[in-house]
Amino acid sequence: MKHVFVINPKAGKGKAVCDFKPKIEEYCNKNALDYQIHVTSAAYEAIEYVRELAKKGEKTRFYACGGDGTLFEVVNGAFGYCNAEVAVIPLGSGNDFIRLFGTKEQFLDIEAQVNGIATDLDIIKCDDVIAINQCSMGFDAEINAKQCYFKKMPFMKGETAYMAALLYCFLKKVNNVFTIKIDGGEPFTQNTLFCVAANSRWYGGGFKAAPLAMPDDGLLDFIIVKKTMNRLKLLGLVDKYKQGKHLEWDFTNFVKGKKITIHSDTVAAINCDGEKRFSNDATFEIVEKGIKFVIPSNSSYFEDKASGKLDCLC
């Protein structure tokens, strides 16, 4: 197997290359691995780089060395190629997707990654892009779009930037009239705070938006929160939402399904694994077993899943 490490040079406050690259080289050389390292030169450049290598047909494990944005690029490059596997070395500030599968320290263990087990996971198709974690439209997607703005400011990274964006959108973006259709059901129109299509559980630097989602069950978790509260009450619910306690709200509609379409009469932000776009319409649809994802050998994910530990809201 070929091992390809895709490094975002901006990850880890610019330390990804100088600190982690030598560790990769030392381990791979010591163990005589067939490997190469690619340091990205521009945003989204990794998508085409990974795709071109995957096209060759050789069994290849691609390591996304960065944050959730780097994972997004590697996933979109590897999607559609059964010879391509995706692993994560979390060097970024968010790293939300890996939370279900183990700790950051476990994923930083190069040996555990090289010896990890590739398992088939579902992914989300959003028009022409692929998301492995979560897609959304509404208040939280507007926060994500604004978060990209705040991240450019000094000392505004990860959760800090998310909270600043949340405060801004709390004042500006809480009302969203959407027409929503799930699978073959009847469409309904309502003032929607936000609508999430989740393959896994966390986003936004630690917000547990979909506390029961499993990325290999053949279904997406749709969480649709109706706008019924005033801003003061909404502010008081933020912490409960972060903890994943919002499924019990009487204004939350929680449904498992395969496809959701959302229409807004006004142009709205769309979030696909932290990547923003703007449109009146969005479709989030599951692709079952769409990617091979590597679980580090030191992770207890498979044992926890078999024991039912991952089935609770804890």
Same domain, 230 and 176: yes
Whether residue 90 lies inside any domain: the answer is: yes
Same domain, 102 and 144: no
Scan for tokens 């912490």, then name that residue.
239
Residue by residue, DSSP assigns 36-66 as EEEE--STTHHHHHHHHHHTT---EEEEEEE
Give the chain's domain count.
2
Cα–Cα nearest to 201, from 190, 212, 191: 212
For residue 229, what is the domain's CATH number? 2.60.200.40
At residue 220, φ and ψ (nearest 5 deg) are -100, 150
Same domain, 42 and 86: yes
Tens digits of pLDDT across the chain (314 residues): 999 999 999 887 777 777 899 999 999 999 999 999 999 999 899 999 999 999 999 999 999 999 889 999 999 999 999 999 999 999 987 789 999 999 999 999 999 999 999 999 999 999 899 999 999 999 889 988 888 778 778 777 667 877 888 788 888 778 899 999 999 899 999 999 999 999 999 988 889 999 999 999 999 999 999 998 888 788 788 889 999 999 999 999 999 999 999 999 999 999 999 899 999 999 999 999 999 999 999 999 999 999 998 887 65
> Are the C-beta atoms of 16 and 40 separated by less than 8 Å?
no
At 269 the three-state DSSP class reads: strand
Same domain, 140 and 282: yes
Same domain, 169 and 98: no
Same domain, 190 and 97: no
Cα–Cα nearest to 101, from 236, 226, 201, 206: 201
The confidence score (pLDDT) of residue 314 equals 58
The confidence score (pLDDT) of residue 299 equals 96
Same domain, 135 and 280: yes
Whether residue 125 lies inside any domain: the answer is: no
| Distance of alpha carbon 170 from alpha carbon 111, whole angstroms | 44
The confidence score (pLDDT) of residue 110 equals 97
Whether residue 123 lies inside any domain: the answer is: no
> Are the C-beta atoms of 200 and 223 separated by less than 8 Å?
no
Same domain, 168 and 248: yes
Whether residue 40 lies inside any domain: the answer is: yes
Q: Quick one: tokens of 57?
A: 């047909």
The confidence score (pLDDT) of residue 313 equals 62
Same domain, 156 and 196: yes
Question: HSE-up of 150 (CA within 13 Å, CB side)?
Answer: 21
Same domain, 46 and 157: no
Distances (CA, A) of 200 to 2, 61, 137: 28, 22, 16
Cα–Cα nearest to 160, from 150, 172, 146: 150
Same domain, 41 and 99: yes
Same domain, 279 and 304: no
Question: Which pTM was predicted?
Answer: 0.92
Whether residue 79 lies inside any domain: the answer is: yes
Whether residue 81 lies inside any domain: the answer is: yes
The confidence score (pLDDT) of residue 196 equals 97
- Residue 166's domain comprises 131-287
